[in-house]
Amino acid sequence: MLSAAEIESLERSVVAAVAPERVVEMAGWLVPLDAGPIGRAKSAAPLVHDADPEAVADVEQIYGAIRLPPAFRLAETPGLAPVRDELIRRGYRAETPTIMKTGSAAGLTTLSDRPAELLAAPDEAWAACFTGEGFDPEEGAARVRNLARSPDALFGAVREGDRTVACGVVTFNHGWIGVHGMRTAPDARRQGLAGRILAAFGREAQGRGIDRVVLQVTEENPARSLYRSAGLNPVWRYHYWTRS
């Protein structure tokens, strides 16, 4: 179980990693403001798990002032039940159930002893993996733009010749290693490529003296078994809350 300080630092890390265009902070909430496709970059999240439901109206005003649809990202924890009730009362619906997982850099390194490249910035071949076959190219390109401006990020890659067949992003902020955007080309799956990238992230983190890992994965994502084998365990489930 995470302490209140760990929850706050984790939530700050998760938002910082996706580099919203702007972030407003108010009374225990982070309100990211972004027009792109990344849910975490455009949904308000509490920094504590016993937030006041009256904050919902204040968050709505912030989004309304710049004509962005209000959205929330809420953990399924008992202390946030009043906030969820208030959102339901206001016509919001929960969607995209996602698992927040935490673990250690040491756990990541157990996945593979084979190397992966770590780039300081995404190159064209890296972006092509992120937007290629099996993925929405327009959404992928927008995600690449956000992740490319993420502070202190590294971009993992496994190449076959000039082609990038697996990719991912690791960030280092607020005392956490954040893993994001893990993708493998459809014809290169089940070869341990994601494990190579994650292990490289873990070794890099160890070199920086950072051990705590955070990762989010949607409930239906089959990669959950890989993350479990690296010792990443669920700490809570969350939903995005929006209204039509």
Provide the pLDDT for residue 46: 98
88 by DSSP, 3-state: which?
helix
Q: Is residue 33 within 8 Å of residue 42, measured between CB atoms?
A: yes
Provide the pLDDT for residue 134: 75
CATH class, domain 103-235, is alpha beta
Q: Which residue type, as a one-letter code, is found at position 182? A: M
How far, in Å, CA of 186 to CA of 180, rounded? 18
Provide the pLDDT for residue 229: 96
Cα torsion for 169, 173, 178, 180, to the nearest 10°? -40
Provide the pLDDT for residue 231: 96
Find the length of the chain.
244
How far, in Å, CA of 148 to CA of 122, rounded? 7
The predicted-structure confidence for 180-195, as pLDDT tens digits, reads as follows 999 999 999 999 999 9
Query: Residue ranges of the domains in the chain?
Result: 4-99, 103-235
Provide the pLDDT for residue 40: 95
**Which residues in the chain come in under a pLDDT of 70?**
none
pTM for the full model? Answer: 0.94
